[in-house]
Amino acid sequence: MNKILKFLVPAVLLVSVLFALTACKGRDNPYKSNEDDGYTFNVRYDAGNGSFTTNTSVVVDSYNPDDFPSGSLPLVAPENKSVRGDRAQVAKNNGFILAGWYTERTPVLDGEGRHLDYLGGIASESGLNPAYTYGGYWDFDNDRLDLSAIDGSTVTLYAAWVPEFYFEFYDVNTGEKLGEEIASVGERIILPALNRDTGRVEANSLPQLIGRTYDVSNMYTEIGGNPVSGELVHSGSINLENATAEGSVMKYTSSFSRASGIGFQPQTSL
């Protein structure tokens, strides 16, 4: 794949690839040398609300269609280090998880045509990430571009973002939020347990509080009140069909026993 794929670094600027192309027209067009070599077909990876490792918002791969006589073009994920090596570009967006890459992206608008943010407010007023709906999930292992069916010389894949997954912990008696921990799908964290060598309860991944220790026999889920022990497993998931998160926050409550001399520092976030 490396022999038939040209990488433009940077292929676009932070503001807009269209602006970059317009500004370069007739001068030092970054695509000109590629076009001269027959690399006339471009695939844009648009990080949307995020950015890539090099702080660009879009990266572009250029291909020579003549290298694909079958007309079927496999694509390479920007973050694929096994193919791209040190040219790999990882998309990032603070507080969000990359759900995948999609061929369709539609702004979420209110009744007045204003773009909403991911929490349902007006994005231009809140400053939060604008919301989109997505379609056409791209499976890099199995999907191929049919060059004969494409109208134009550029295809864009859009990064879809969902809020990070969390475990949240609350005091069962007061309802006070004690802390949270970022999690991935299926992630496991160890619950407080008695260290038989020291005789103390070790909080492990949960918030540690001055003068209090966890009652290890009394951990409950917030919904249903069923006791849990040993570990927590995050059961959230991402629906790849439409890039939506399901069950992203798991909430748990715990009771405490009074303890002296533990000296834990309070935390609001792990």
**Distances from the Cα of 178 to the Cα of 5, 52, 251, 267, angstroms:** 50, 33, 11, 7
Residue 39 tokens, joined: 């690399």
Q: pLDDT category, 162, cuts 50, 70, 90?
A: very high
**158 and 179 belong to one structural domain:** no
**119 and 29 belong to one structural domain:** yes
**159 and 247 belong to one structural domain:** no
Give the pairing type, strands 231-233 and 188-190: antiparallel
Containing structural domain, residue 235: 165-258
pLDDT digits (tens, 9 = 90+) for 145-160: 998 888 788 999 999 9
d(CA 36, CA 38): 6
Number of domains in the chain: 2
Q: pLDDT category, 15, cuts 50, 70, 90?
A: very low
**153 and 46 belong to one structural domain:** yes
In a domain, 265, yes or no: no
Residue 126 tokens, joined: 């809140």
In a domain, 263, yes or no: no
pLDDT digits (tens, 9 = 90+) for 222-232: 666 777 878 88
Average pLDDT over residues 66-75: 89
**179 and 64 belong to one structural domain:** no
Instruction: Tell which residue, 205, 191, 186, has the closest CA to residue 248.
Output: 186
The least confident of 132-136, 172-176, 213-217 is 213-217
| Domain end residue (candidates: 125, 144, 163) | 163
pTM confidence score? 0.75
Instruction: Tell which residue, 266, 269, 270, has the closest CA to residue 209.
Output: 266
| Domain end residue (candidates: 132, 163, 194) | 163
Asked if pLDDT for residue 139 goes beyond 70, the answer is yes
Average pLDDT over residues 7-31: 37
**30 and 154 belong to one structural domain:** yes
